[in-house]
Every structure is written in C-alpha cells, then in structure tokens.
Amino acid sequence: MYKFILSIIIIFELSNQVFANTINQKIWSLAINKNDNVAQYIVAQAYNPLVENDDWDCLPHQFYLELKNKKLAGCQDKSADKYIEFLTKSAKNLYPLSQTALGIAYVKGKLVNKDIKKGIFWLEKAASPIPDKAKFSVGEGTLWLNEQGRKYGVGQAQYVLATLYDEGVDVKSDYAKAVKYYEMASKSYDFGFYGYAQYQLFNIYKNKLNNPQKAIYWLEQALYKLEKNIYLKKNENIINAVSNATDQIIEYFLNGGQIDGSKSELPNYELAAKYLGQFVENYEIKNKIRKKMALKLAWLYLNGLGIEKNPEQAAKYYHLGVINSETIKKDKNNDQSLEQQFLFDVIEPIYESSTFTQSEIYHLINSTDKNNKENITNAYSQFYITNASKIVEKVFGENRKDEERFYTKLVDEIQYVGIESYQTYNSATPILALAQKRGIAYGYYREAQNINGKTPEQLLDLYQSALTLEPENPKIIYGLGTLYDFIIKDSKTAITHYQKAANLGYRLANYRLGVIYYLGKGVKQNYQEAWRYLNLAAEQGYLPAQNFVMTVDKSHPDLKWLTTQYVNHRKNYRSPTVEVKYKVETEVETEVETTN
C-alpha cells in the first residue's frame, strides 16, 4: 500500500512541475532581481536533477540558460542545492507550489537531508488556505490558483500529509488527521478530481476505522471521479485499486458484514445484492471483476437471496458474467456448493462447450456429414443433460414456471449476440434439450422455431409435444398455426389454430387473422373481419397492427364505414371504437380521445 501511495505522490509531484529546458532572460531576471516567487519556482524546476532535460542543445543532466551575459549563458548543470535554494526562496515568498515541492523534498530526503519536521511545516503551509498577502502570477497549468481556488489550499500537499498520518511513516499514525487532510484533498481544485483522495478515504474507513457506511460513500465518490475524468481512465493503478475495492465491499457483506461494522454469522445478502446491482453496471470497474459480480448477482436473483426472486434477471446476469469472458476455472474440489455446481454444470457448458476439445468443436462446425454432426451434437446434449438435470432439480424443484422463465430469457440473451454455440447446435441446443428433459413445453416449441434441417413431421411432433404439456398455451397454438400456414400450406387448419390463439387473447394471432381476411388468403375477403382483428391487435399494443390500420387505404368502397380520422404517426394512433394508450420508447405517453 505504501509503495502505491508513494508512486502516486511521485506522479503528481511531476505533474505539477514546469519542465523548463530553457530559462530565458526575463525569467532569470525576475527570479534573481525581482524576487518573483513564480520565476524562482520555474528556475528551481530547471535545476531539479530528478527531471532530465530533453533539449538537444544540452545534456540530460543540464538545462539551457539563455542570457545576455555570455559568461553565464549556455548549458548549466542541474543541482540539488540550487533546486532547494530557489524552492526555499519561492516558498518563503508564499508561492504554494514551491511550499509543496519543498515539503515533499524534505519528506523524501533525496535532494536534501531528510527532515520530517521541515517537510510537514512546508506541507502544512501549502495545505492551508492561501493568504491574501501571497502575490503571484497565474498562468497555464496553475489557473486553479485563482481567487476561488485559494481558499482550498494545495490538494497535493494535503494528500501527502494525509498519507504520512495514515501510514505512520516517520510520524505517529493519526487517522483523524489523515481523514482531515484526505477530505481537504478531495475538495481541492488541483487534486480533488483525480479520485485518489476519495479512494484513500474508502480504504481508511474500510480497513482501519471499521466504518463500512462511510467507506462505501467514498468508494462511490471515487467511482464518480473515475467516470468523469478521461485522463484517469488510462491510469491502471487507480482503476485496479477502485475495482478491487468494490470487490472487497461485496465480500465484506457476503461474509456477514453489517453497515455499522458489526459481523453476523449469516451473509448480508440484502446489502450485497444492492451494491452488486450498482457495481455490475458501472463500466469503470475492471471487466473481470464486473463479470465475477454478475455471476454472484445472478445466483441471488435465482434464489431470491436479499432481493426479489427474478429468473429473467438471473439469466441476464449469468449471460453477462459468462459471455466473452475467460474460461471459468472449475474447482477440482468435490465439495462444490450448489451455486458452483449450477455455474459449472448448467451455465458454463452452454457457452464454452467444455465437454469437447476445440478440434472436436471445429470439426462439428465444419462437418459436411449430417449424420456425424447429429451424432456429435446428440452426444454433447446427452452428456450435458445428464449432469445439468440433477443440478437444476435441486435449484428449481417443481417450480416449472420459474425454470421456463429462466430458460426463455437465457436463450433470448444468447440469440441476441448470436454466439456460435447457439447457431451451430440448432435442434440439439443443450439448453432446449434440458428443458425438454425437464418436461417444459418451451423446450419443444422453441426448438420448433428453428426450422432448418427439420421435416414438417418433425416440427409437427415438437409442437404436439409442447401442446401435450400446455394445451392452452396461445404461443404454442399460434406457432402450430404458422406451421400449417407457411410450411404445410393448409390455410383452413392454420386459421383454426389462429382463431383459438386469438380467443385466448394472443395479439399476433389477431394480427395474422386480420391480414388473412384483408388479403382473402384461404378465406373469402372480408374487410370488416380484417378490421376487427387488426384493431384488436392494435389495441393490444402490437406495432405492426397499429401501422397497418394507420396506412391502409380508407378510400376503398368497402371501408367507407370508417369515420375516424387518422394521423400518420404511431404515437397518435386512434381506434375507431375505443381510446388507446401507446408508449413508444422514450416518447411521451399520449392519450387520444375517440372520435366518431
């Protein structure tokens, strides 16, 4: 930790320096003859032996003095003594940056004999509000030293003081003083926006003062600064530190930590879930840690631990935690928790296909031998189902509704990104095969939607298997209608299934029937029936139906009975019979009264 803090000190010490390769006549004259504190600071930085010169006119350990006096002009050797000399002059002339640099020099003891008392003296001067009698020019890089910034003092000096009292290096530890100076640094104009002070406040409250509530507050502040500061996004030190801090907070609550600092024998799932939900959506946190959090949050949602049970959210976060991540390392210990078993034996194989070697998967993907491909995929599915079904039984028990919701959302997530395993295995998609094994209708009718490579008889068998399990499910009935409509080409039977699904309130069935009657496809053309079904689907919020009734040619003789006026904008859809509310993404919900 101390090495990390000192590395930060060094970084920001250099960031506040003026890297002067050349000192011109004006600066030299102001420093020597006019006792100008800013000019003295600039000359001091030129003499700083820790800063190498990159001007080709001089060597790295030199700087160029551009003077009219030819005896003094030319390349000058850098000098620790001169550096301290000019810093001291400037510091005594009340220039806060010189006071900061001089204080750090005495604390570090590299360019001058180490003297903690002198170091603290000058750091405290710089850390205090800048007095009105301190006069100095403000230029590029020091604009924060304006009238408003003066009252905060130098944040870097405050931060260095805080670390001294925090770590107890060369001074007695004093957490009250450390907190005081960290808080001052967090508000300062030159240092507050970096997020370092905020992170250190998290660290001291979490690990030394046992105050989780304040620790979390300062961690959130550090995350906010990380999000807003584009330059900080490139600093791996602070990104790693803040990311690991979020992980520590979650582990603290999972191990029974309470917000007041006390401990319980049971995990604090409620607070763990709260901050998991907050951190997992924060893209400033390292991806590896976010994915770990996503998997934990998924398990909490799946079991209703500290949060309302939600199978869809569980599927969402399992997907987020596994997709495109490094291969999950499976613990060889036989005493795995149920949470680990569910991850390794149910979720991870779907994405990683870990039961096959890469060469076998490659062969499967590129195989032209249909029978061979089917044999491999079926073998994979059976191997997966055997292991996964035992675990799923322990997690869901007889709660088939939640189990179906979980599978449905997980397949939707997988399909959305189009991962190879989903597209390749097709009818042998492991998760659908698992659903079928578990007696869930979704496994059958969802597989029936993957028509490639299946005969009409196979598709019909899948739908019939689904209907056996859920005979009144309008999705299945509608899907069976589409099979007869588009593949078997039996319009009469298709309409029968559509009507049954429509009677069960399925809006896609209403829409399809409306189109069929409008076009006269397999039935006698009937605009009034078409309008009845289309309007029902539109009232149910089905956008294609709403667009249809808005754009249909109402001048047709058979549509003269329509008296409602229409506006060609979907949020202003008007039903000829009832008032309709419709919300389109970010558009304001609009309510339109019926007109006759």
Q: How many other C-beta atoms are found inside a 10 Å radius of the C-beta of residue 344?
A: 20
Burial of 43 (0-12, 13-18, 19+ CB in 10 A): buried
Query: Which pLDDT does position 375 carry in this prediction?
Result: 63
Closest by CA to 350, choosing from 372, 318, 375, 397, is 318
For 67-74, the CB contacts below 8 A with 24+ separation are 67/25, 67/28, 68/25
pTM for the whole structure = 0.78
* Residues contacting 575, CB < 8 A, separation 6+: 535, 538, 539, 564, 594
**51 close to 35: Cβ distance less than 8 angstroms:** no
Nearest to 384 by CA among 412, 356, 420: 356
Per-residue pLDDT, 355: 42
Query: In this structure, what DSSP letter does residue 229 have?
Result: -
Q: Is 168 left (phi over 0), alpha (psi -120 to 50) or beta?
A: left
- Amino acid identity for residue 591 in this structure: E
Assess contact for 309 and 269: CB atoms under 8 A.
no
- Separation CA 494–CA 513 (nearest Å): 10
Q: Is 76 helix (H, G, I), strand (E, B) or coil?
A: strand
Q: What is residue 138's predicted lDDT score, i.e. its pLDDT?
A: 79
- Which residues fall within 8 angstroms of residue 70, CB to CB, at 6 or more apart? none
Q: Count other Cβ atoms within 10 Å, centred on residue 260.
A: 9
Exposed, middle or buried by CB within 10 Å (0-12, 13-18, 19+), for 584?
A: middle
Contacts of 278 (CB under 8 A, 6+ apart): none
User: Any residues with CB less than 8 A from the CB of 509 and at least 6 apart, and which?
Assistant: 474, 477, 478, 481, 498, 499, 501, 502
493 three-class SS:
helix
Q: What confidence score (pLDDT) does residue 169 get?
A: 85
Distance from C-alpha of 316 to C-alpha of 413, rounded to nearest angstrom: 7
pLDDT, tens only, 249-270: 999 999 999 999 999 999 999 9
Listed by start position, the domains of the chain span 1-192, 195-285, 294-450
**Spatial CB neighbours of 477, under 8 Å, sequence gap ≥ 6:** 467, 497, 500, 501, 504, 506, 509
Pairing of strands 22-23, 62-65: parallel
Q: Could you tell me if 272 and 227 are in contact, meaning their C-beta atoms sit under 8 angstroms apart?
A: no
8 Å CB contact between 475 and 504: no
Q: What is the mean pLDDT of each run of 10 residues along the chain (596 residues)?
A: 42 45 90 94 94 82 86 90 97 96 96 97 96 84 79 94 94 97 94 90 96 94 82 77 92 95 95 95 90 97 98 96 67 78 92 51 50 62 87 96 96 72 48 93 94 93 97 98 96 97 98 95 92 91 87 69 46 42 32 28
* 8 A C-beta contact, residue 522 and residue 556: no
Instruction: Give the model's pLDDT for residue 415.
Output: 80
> How many helices (H) and strands (E) in the chain?
29, 5
Q: Rounded to whole angstroms, what are the CA distances from 412 to 122, 327, 418, 424, 577?
A: 62, 22, 10, 16, 36
